[in-house]
Copies of this chain bind each other. A is one copy, B any other.
Amino acid sequence: MSKIITIGREFGSGGRELGRRLSQKLEIAYYDQEIIAEISRRTELSEQYIRKMSEKKPVFSFPIHIGRSFHYMQNSPWDLNLSIFREQSAIIREIAEKSDCVIVGRCADDILREKNPFRIFVYADTDSKLERCRQRAEKDEKMTDREILTNIRKIDRNRSDYYNLYTGKNWGDRQNYDLCINTTNLSIERAAGLVADFFRQE
């Protein structure tokens, strides 16, 4: 069995860390921000811009009505979103062709569906996510719990909108994953060990 592992995750659930540890344990490649960097290289758009575009709810542009015909604006935000998504899909497919790997986010579970990746979704309860974000925030900036919670909800809503739009499926719906892991009572290290052992059974 090939080890193509995709990880969807709620913000603050530790899904990214789980992915990184899992890739280390299995000694396979790990992709996350690297995909953004590669899109940037290919499209000549800045990484920051791509991150913003692919984390925001995509905006549809209204058609312009001239006489009796409709015209869609060229180079509208939606066109750009779609171009970025196409580039991203191509990169993710190339990555998965090259070697076994862990890919975090970016609808990789759906983009790679023909390769039957092992699809993981990582989640946790609100208190646990708040605590993880608090620890993370201390290093960067001081945020109130209220601000952190608003941020968690906003990011997850965007992830959900993004996933639902590009895959036609529901983000976080268990039917779209092989394994859903709750990190509330489970350390990331143990969760990574659980999945790594599973692949080592082969």
Which chain A residues have a beta carbon within 8 Å of chain B's beta carbons?
116, 121, 123, 125, 172, 174-175, 177-182, 184-186, 190, 193-194, 197-198, 201
Contacts and interface: CB of A to CB of B under 8 A. Distances in A.
Contacts of A185: 116, 178
Contact of A197 (B175, B186, B201): B201
Main secondary structure of the interface of A (DSSP, over half): mixed
Given A174-B123, A174-B174, A182-B175, A198 B201 contact: no
A194 B199 CA distance: 9
Contacts of A190: 198, 201
A75 to B, nearest CB: 40
A179 B182 contact: yes
A128 to B, nearest CB: 11
Contact of A198 (B174, B178, B193): B193
A24 to B, nearest CB: 16
